[in-house]
Homo-oligomer: A and B are copies of this chain.
Amino acid sequence: MTEPQQVDHAQHGYIGHKDDYLRRLRRIEGQARGLQRMVSEEAYCIDILTQVSAMTKALQAVSLGLLEEHMNHCVVNAAQESDDAGKEKVDEAMQAIARLVKS
């Protein structure tokens, strides 16, 4: 599932928003640390669950953002290259979408 090293980076759709994704992932990392603090301090279970749901939603938003940029770049470029290349990228994207829908 990993692309060859010599790939043209221009096709990675999210690169233009790298800083935005890094900022969101740092915030998510902070939420994971906040959850550890809550467990250490024996916070109320329901309050912890509320924070876990917020963190899951933040991760889901990151996924949908990355997927959109992937489709707008990698999938569209592949389709313009050839039908087969397009189909291959769609198959790969569909596997990622199925994992998202089921997780």
Interface residues of A (CB under 8 A from B): 1-3, 7, 9, 12-15, 18, 21-22, 25-26, 28-29, 32-33, 35-36, 39-40, 42, 44-50, 52-53, 55-57, 59-60, 62-64, 66-72, 74-76, 79-80, 83, 86-87, 90-94, 96-103
Contact = CB atoms under 8 A, between A and B. Distances in A.
A60 B103 contact: yes
A82 B67 CA distance: 20
Please tell me how many copies of the chain the complex holds: 4
Secondary structure of the A contact surface, majority rule: helix
22 contacts: A1-B44, A1-B50, A2-B47, A22-B40, A28-B35, A29-B29, A45-B66, A46-B70, A46-B93, A49-B67, A49-B70, A52-B59, A52-B66, A60-B101, A64-B97, A64-B101, A67-B94, A67-B97, A68-B91, A71-B75, A71-B93, A72-B90
